[in-house]
Every structure is written in structure tokens, then in C-alpha cells.
Structure 1
Amino acid sequence: MRQVPLVVGHPLLGSLKELRHDVLAAYLRARSTVGDVVRFQAGPPGARTEMYGVFSADGVQQVLASQSANFRKDNPTYTEIRESVGNGLLTSQDDEYIFQRRMVQPLFTRRRVHEYAGAVHAEIIRSVSGWQTQPDGVVDASAVMTEFALRAVSRILFGADIEAAVDVVRRQFPVIGESVLRRGVSPVRLPRTWPTPANRRTQAAQRELFGICDRIIAQRAGADEADDMISLLVRARDEDGSGLSADAVRDQVLIFLLAGYETTATTLGYALHLLAGDAEVRARARAEVDDVLAGRSPGAADVEALPYLNQVLKETMRVYPAVAIMGRRAVAEAEVDGFRIPAGADVYLAPWVTHRHPAYWARPDDFDPEHFTPEAEAGRPRYAWFPFGGGPRACIGQHFSMQEAVIVLAAVLQRFDVEAHDPPGRRVPVDLGMALRPAGPLLVRVRPRTKEAVA
């Protein structure tokens, strides 16, 4: 096995400054100048940390799929998520994960996911209703889609209690996310019990989030009529009749919020921004929507009948993957893409980088839905595109996510012309939080279409 080449950094601090300043740019530079598997060192001698980057499709497949048992979710970020929102499906491992997956899987069958379409459509219509009377027609697509995504996932999770829940989630979830991100990347993590200002803010947010979930879960116990996700989790039973405890239900609910709120907002906000900036793509997508829907509201059955809109969304997730970096820790020494990864190594995969790899993409820096024609997809390695992860730990909600995004874009294009507001070619800088997000507003100009196109 070959030794992984080192990314040369500062003689004293290694790559610390570059990784802290802009980790995505540092990863891109490393791939282009060093290779598909690289090693970073960060920090002064004696307190230096080492991490590995894997950017090739074959390497990603080995980490996520063929050698997945050796690459576990034991790194600091996953530890912080467990401490902050519980040990749900995203973070659990081994037998606990297998049990949780069995209990949760019925909530994501095709039939059940189709039932969520009505809630998604109702919330997007609510979210864009004010666009009809927008004085200058300019809206922040990121802000609107963030509010939509929050309300949509809260409605599906909390049902009739959406209004009480959504206020708490809106205020407190960003506090939790900031804490996870800060502590997950910090070389020194003070005990959570120390009464620092940051710890007190996080503890207060956690208490309020746990409190609203616990109250709703307790109300659902013994109730058979509600079909929101909390009720389904409360009633879920394994083959031997065992179910999830109230705390375990809460863990799943908070993980679903974490995985399905900001990520959805990122994808939809950028999709509208990219459509607004490309008249040809926008016209083709709108024509497909008008032809397939013929004025009626989009539903789950329409998702597969809108292939170009699916291509638009896949390309959006290529250019702006909501989960831009994924981490694992090697249990034992392994060979990845021909290189030696030592036991205990922290290994990072980066959709942001692999999705721009010139070996897999004809126009890596351009927004081009033609990257996702059936022919183009068939000619690429499976893990050249992996916004939902892959292997046995692939995102359980990926079908729901795609259905939600297609319905939302179809409903918006059906009702509004969406055009560019920013100068041509302007790219809004990104900010790497719990999910990738724009560092500023994604301004687009909207104009109501004629009533003939509206359901």
C-alpha cells in the first residue's frame, strides 16, 4: 500500500489556518495539487492533529459501502450530535442502529412518503402566498425556503401541534446547531457541565426543545387516531412487540429535524437561485411542469413524470451539496483507493470536492442539468454523486427529500416567473454550518403568472 501524501502547510501550524479559514477551498486545492487521497496535519508540534481526505469516487465507495464496517461514526462531530439531540438514526450504531432502522423504516415506505405530499404542497403555497403582492417582486429565496422547510418538517412530525412546536424549533435549533459545529471542530472541548455562557445557552435550548417534544409525545401515548410522525413512532412495534421509549421517540424526532430542515432549505433556496440565473433551463423546466400538470396541483404521483425537474434538483445538489463534508473514523488499518489509512484515523469525504472532480463531470464548475441525463448517469461511477451518503447508512429519507423538492419547485414554477436579480454570474459565498448555506441572501425576482397556469 502507498503512503498517503501530505498536504504541505506552515512549518509550525501545518494546514490549521487554511482549514479554519475555508475548509472547502482547502480540500479543493488539496485534490487538485496533491491527489485523490490526502493527509492534513494541523496545529503546533506536540499538539498536532492528523486527518485524511478521500475525494475519488472509488475511495468514497470503499469508505461508505464496501468497507463501511471499518469506518464508523465515532468522530467528534457525531459525538456532539449525540450529546445535543440524542442517539437517533443518524448517530446510532451496531445493534441499536439495526433496531432503530427496523422501527423507523415503515415511516419511509413509498406509500407513506406519498402521504406526506399534501402537507408539503400546503406549506409551500402558504410560504409563497405573499409573493403575489410583493411590491418590487424581489424575495430572498433562502429565507423563504428556510421557513418553508421548517414548517413542512414540523407539520409532518408534530401534526396538529405544529404552531407550538415550530416556534420553539425556529428559536432554539440554531443554538443547538452552532454548539455542535463549534465543539465538533474544536481541539479543546470544555465539559458541558461547566457554566460558560455558551454551555448555558445550549442547555436552555436543549431543555426547551426536549420539553416541547416530551409534552407532545406524552399526549400521543394511547391515542390511535393521529397520523403525524410522532404518533406513528409512539405506536411502532417490532416483531416481538417491543417499541421505542419516549426518550427514543424524542431522539428520532430531533434527528429528523436536524437531517431534514436545513438541508432541504439549502437545496430549495439554491435551486430557485440557479433557475433564476439560467433562462434556458428555467424555460425548459417550466414547460415540463405546465405540460405534465396542465394546471392542477403537483402531487406524489407526478414526481417521476417530471424528469427534467429531477435533473435540475440533482444538479443543484451537485453544485451545492447540503452536506458538504462527511466524517468517519477507521477502526483498523485499511486500504482506500490504494493508500494506507491507519487505525484510528479521522477520514473525511467531501461531496463538495468529488462533485467537482473533472474525471467525472464534463463541466464541473457550471450549473448544467444535462449532467443528469440517464445516459450521463450510467457513464459515471456510482459515488461520483453522493448527497445522501451511501452504503448501509444511506439517508433513509432520500426518497422523501426528492419528492418534497420536486413538488415545491413545480408549485413555484406553476405560479411564478422566477428571474435573476443579481448580476449575471454572481455566486453568493457559502457558509459551512450544520448544513451548507449561503453566507448572504439569495435574491430572486418573482412575478405572478397568468391564472391559466395556476391550479
Structure 2
Amino acid sequence: MGETHMAITTRTEAPRLTGLPVLGSLLDLKNDSLATFLRARRDHGDVVRISAGPPGARAVVYGVFSAEGAQQVLAGESANFRKDNAFYQEIRESFGNGLLTSQDEDYLRQRRLVQPLFTKRRVDGYAAAVAAEVRTLTAEWDQAGADSVDVLQESTRLALRAVARILFGTDVDTAVDVVERCFPGVGAYVLRRGYSPLKVPRDWPTPGNRRAAALHQALYEVCDRIIADRKAAGRGPGDGDDLLTLLAEAESAEDSSFDATELREQVLVFLLAGHETTATSLGFALHLLARHPDVQRRAHEEVDRVLGGRTPGAADLDALPYVTRVLKETMRLFPAAPVIGRRAVAATEVGGVAIPAGADVVVAPWVTHRHPAYWEDPERFDPDRFTPEAEAARPRYAWFPFGGGPRACIGQHFSMLESVIALAMVLQRHGFEAVDTEVPVSSAITLQVAGPARCRLVPREG
């Protein structure tokens, strides 16, 4: 016990990840940041100093990989760890100063405006709209006579449709292709600039800047179209419960109104954040079920027993614990936000290791969710890790796919409701067999898929 106490309370310098003599870990981070962070924890422990770039332009980041460290950064000392690092600045320049990137009074004002959309009562009322979108998707599969589908691509379409209908009060079918094409490209651009020790100004006409500008312009046009369509639709009885109406009418509240640029930025952020978690969770859940027939069989049995063929609603979530566990285990293995960055305002320590003032810090669900201290055989897919007893036995931040603390994802209940309803409804109609057994991924702003996730559809009777 004495040695453990000393390890926790004695301030030490963070161990350093070994890298190249000149560039440090720059190439490793650019090529595969997720594997680099996993290696850092495996070889050096729960707080690791990682340097990247040449001398004179070298960036240093402290990786914090324990559950206790993640809780300290995101919750316990959240005021000391701000969204001031280079990556968030790049995200601001690409997506504006919306709810994802704003801070201080800007953030509090924006959160007050959108909070009414995400109360439990309001979110439970979205269940029918989610179910309608799932019915549309599975009907399209049936009409097309699809033998197999890319479950991640299809889940992205579903999540985008749902977020457009519920948050924007409009249909964005025509925008789905643009969003699917542009978000990964913008994310890769942000990642490159975030890791680059020497950044050329964005307005210089380099090939990379021109490509990024074209992607940004396409996304801006999509957002402007959504806003214009919503305004053209007018407001009838029962309208006004969507995000756009709340934001556009903010001038009548204590929080001053948004101008056209701010409105576009909120739409852009909610298009990104509003669909990514659900799309990633549902798509990878289907892919993992396809690769694990015994787990899929248990999920089918629960859905059939509880629902008996009827459409699920919000009241059914508690009655579908195994389907929920499947999704939680999926989010453990494939968190939509695999790495979360902050910058320390004042010097502190995490796990007895010194973190200097001004240091960039990352917590990584991708790594903590695979930490052997909390997860036995961590790469194995096992939904029973999320029984109530198993969850109670783990530290709170051993699993944090929605972030945590005061900046936790405002839409986490919405994402869980949407994911459970969608997965249950899809399993009512289909079984799945994996065509692609492995799906390569990488990290940008969110988890990015680098290959298809095709599954063969097996129609079910009834």
C-alpha cells in the first residue's frame, strides 16, 4: 500500500514516448494516431509525454489514459482543461464557433438555447420520428432487393435523415451525399493541420487549401439550403419545436439573436455531432453482430420476446437491456469520438505526474476503453460487460463515449434512444452475415472508416 500511495502522491515527470530523433512521433501520429496512443499507454503507463515535429517547431502533448485521469480532466478539474488547443482552433475555423467548440459565455448561451430540445421528455417524444426513418430505410432495402448492404454507410444515411427531421424540421435526402463526401475530407484536413508544426495560411492557394475550401463551400451550401427550406415551410400549428426555430427566435429571449453566420455554424455542428455517434454505434453494432452469431441470436430473441412484432417506443428501452448492452459494448470498441483534446491553464498533476501550464492534453476513449485494468481481453466483443453489476464494479470513466463533465454530449440520451430503437427494428426484419470481416478505421474529428462494412441480409419471417 505504501508504494501505491507514493506513486499517486509524488509528482514526477511524465515518461516520454520514443520517437524519431528529429521528428519525434509526428509521422506515427499522422499515420495512425490511435495505434500510437495505444502503444504509449502499453509501453509507458497512464500519463505519457508525446512530442511531434522538428526542434523549434515541436508540439508536445500529454496522453492521459486512465479512467481516473479522464475524470479529472473532463470533470474534476474541467475548468483547468479548456478547448484551447491547436485542433480545436482548426475545428473552429472549419465548423465555426458552435456548441462543439464554443467556450465560456458563448457556450453557456448556446447550451441554454438548445437544452429544451434534449430534455428526457422531449427526446422520448422523438421515438416515432426515428421509427419512421427506420421503416423508410428497411423498405428501401426490400424494394431494391438488396442482398447485402454497407451497414456503416446505411446507418449514416439513417442518422442524417433523423437529425434533419427532428432537429431541423426538414428533409435532407438531397444533402446526404454531400455530407457523407465532405465531412471525412474536412476532418482529414483538420487533422493534417492540427499535427503540422508549420501551417500555411488557409487562404494561400495550395492544392490542399483549395480542396478544403471546395468541401467547406459545399457544406455551407447544404446548411444554407436547410435553413432556407425551413423558413420557406413557414410555421403552422404545433411547429416551432425544432432547433432552427429556437435559434431563429432567440431574439425574443434573454439570449440575443443569432445572425446568419451563427445560424449556419450551429446547423453545421449539429449535422456533424448529431449523426456521428448514432451512425457509428448502429453501423458497427450490426457489423459486430454479423461476426458474432451467438450474440446476434440473443439480440433477436430479446427483440422478438419483448416487441412481438410491434414498433418499439421510448417506453421499451428499459425492456431491451441486451440490445442496449450490445450498443454500449459497440461504443466501447468504436467510440465516435476516440480522442478528446484539452489545454491545461495552470500547472497540475494527474496520477502523480506533472502537467505544466499551457500543456496540450488528450484523453482517449479508444485507449481507456481497451485498458486492461478495466477490461479483461479488451478486444473481445462481449455485451455482458455491461450488466448492471459489471458496470457498478468499474470506475465511472472506464467508459465515456459521450465525453464527460460539464461538456458531456448534450445529445447522449437522444443518441441512445435512436440507436436502441433503430437496432431493434432492423433486427425484427433481418439477420446479418459479415462480408467484410475487418473494417479499418482512423481518427480525425471523429472516428473515420477507411473501408466498407458490408453485411449480407438474411430476411426473417414475420
Q: TM-score, normalised by structure 1?
A: 0.92
Partner amino acid, structure 1, of 2:363? L
**Residue aligning to 1:81:** 91
Q: Tell me how large the CA RMSD over aligned residues is.
A: 2.2
Distance of aligned partners of 1:164 and 1:12 in 2 relative to their CA distance in 1, 3 Å threshold: closer
Asked if structure 1 preserves the Cα contact closer than 8 Å seen for 2:435 and 2:453, the reply is: no
Partner amino acid, structure 2, of 1:386? F
Distance of aligned partners of 1:241 and 1:71 in 2 relative to their CA distance in 1, 3 Å threshold: closer
Which string of whole-angstrom CA distances, capped at 9 and with x for unpartnered residues, describes residues 305-336 of structure 1? 21111111000000111111111111111111
Aligned pairs for 1:19-418 within 5 A: 19-132=29-142, 137-166=147-176, 168-214=178-224, 216-217=226-227, 220=230, 223-225=234-236, 226=239, 227-236=241-250, 240=254, 242-418=256-432
Aligned pairs for 1:433-444 within 5 A: 433-444=444-455
Partner amino acid, structure 1, of 2:44? V
**Residue aligning to 1:428:** 439
Which string of whole-angstrom CA distances, capped at 9 and with x for unpartnered residues, describes residues 99-141 of structure 1? 1111110011112212322222222222232433666732221
Q: Secondary structure at the match of 1:118?
A: helix
Q: Distance in 2 between matches of 1:286 and 1:2?
A: 51
Q: Distance in 1 between matches of 2:331 and 2:345?
A: 30
Which string of whole-angstrom CA distances, capped at 9 and with x for unpartnered residues, describes residues 7-53 of structure 1? 12233332223222222112112111111000112233333221110
Distance of aligned partners of 1:300 and 1:334 in 2 relative to their CA distance in 1, 3 Å threshold: same
Q: Distance in 2 between matches of 1:171 and 1:32?
A: 35
Which string of whole-angstrom CA distances, capped at 9 and with x for unpartnered residues, describes residues 200-237 of structure 1? 33333333433443454356569443343322332346
Q: Secondary structure at the match of 1:343?
A: coil
Which string of whole-angstrom CA distances, capped at 9 and with x for unpartnered residues, describes residues 275-300 of structure 1? 11112211111111111111111222
Question: Equivalent of 1:449, from 449, 454, 460?
Answer: 460
Q: 1:445 deviation in Å?
A: 1.7
Q: How many residues align?
A: 448
Distance of aligned partners of 1:288 and 1:237 in 2 relative to their CA distance in 1, 3 Å threshold: farther
Distance of aligned partners of 1:38 and 1:171 in 2 relative to their CA distance in 1, 3 Å threshold: closer
Distance of aligned partners of 1:24 and 1:216 in 2 relative to their CA distance in 1, 3 Å threshold: closer
Q: Distance in 2 between matches of 1:140 and 1:313?
A: 18
Asked if structure 1 preserves the Cα contact closer than 8 Å seen for 2:338 and 2:446, the reply is: yes
Asked if structure 2 preserves the Cα contact closer than 8 Å seen for 1:43 and 1:49, the reply is: yes
Partner amino acid, structure 1, of 2:20? H
Larger displacement relative to structure 2 (439-448 or 161-170): 161-170
Identity %: 60
Q: Distance in 2 between matches of 1:450 and 1:54?
A: 49
Q: 1:362 deviation in Å?
A: 2.5
Q: Distance in 2 between matches of 1:392 and 1:220?
A: 31
Partner amino acid, structure 2, of 1:431? S
Q: Distance in 2 between matches of 1:205 and 1:46?
A: 32
Asked if structure 1 preserves the Cα contact closer than 8 Å seen for 2:85 and 2:341, the reply is: yes
Asked if structure 2 preserves the Cα contact closer than 8 Å seen for 1:142 and 1:442, the reply is: yes
Q: 1:62 deviation in Å?
A: 0.6
Q: TM-score, normalised by structure 2?
A: 0.91
Q: 1:412 deviation in Å?
A: 0.6
Q: Distance in 2 between matches of 1:228 and 1:317?
A: 27
Asked if structure 2 preserves the Cα contact closer than 8 Å seen for 1:417 and 1:447, the reply is: yes
Q: Distance in 2 between matches of 1:154 and 1:204?
A: 23
**Residue aligning to 2:6:** none
Q: Distance in 1 between matches of 2:51 and 2:378?
A: 28
Q: 1:166 deviation in Å?
A: 3.8
Partner amino acid, structure 2, of 1:435? T
Q: Distance in 2 between matches of 1:428 and 1:163?
A: 26
Distance of aligned partners of 1:341 and 1:241 in 2 relative to their CA distance in 1, 3 Å threshold: closer
Asked if structure 1 preserves the Cα contact closer than 8 Å seen for 2:169 and 2:230, the reply is: no
Distance of aligned partners of 1:173 and 1:48 in 2 relative to their CA distance in 1, 3 Å threshold: closer
Asked if structure 2 preserves the Cα contact closer than 8 Å seen for 1:154 and 1:166, the reply is: no
Q: Distance in 1 between matches of 2:206 and 2:55?
A: 29
Partner amino acid, structure 2, of 1:111? R
In structure 1, runs of 5+ residues without a counterpart are none
Partner amino acid, structure 2, of 1:23? S
Which string of whole-angstrom CA distances, capped at 9 and with x for unpartnered residues, describes residues 338-362 of structure 1? 1110111111111111001111112
Distance of aligned partners of 1:116 and 1:18 in 2 relative to their CA distance in 1, 3 Å threshold: same
Distance of aligned partners of 1:440 and 1:214 in 2 relative to their CA distance in 1, 3 Å threshold: closer
Distance of aligned partners of 1:145 and 1:217 in 2 relative to their CA distance in 1, 3 Å threshold: closer
Partner amino acid, structure 2, of 1:407? I
Q: Distance in 2 between matches of 1:32 and 1:174?
A: 29
Asked if structure 2 preserves the Cα contact closer than 8 Å seen for 1:38 and 1:53, the reply is: yes
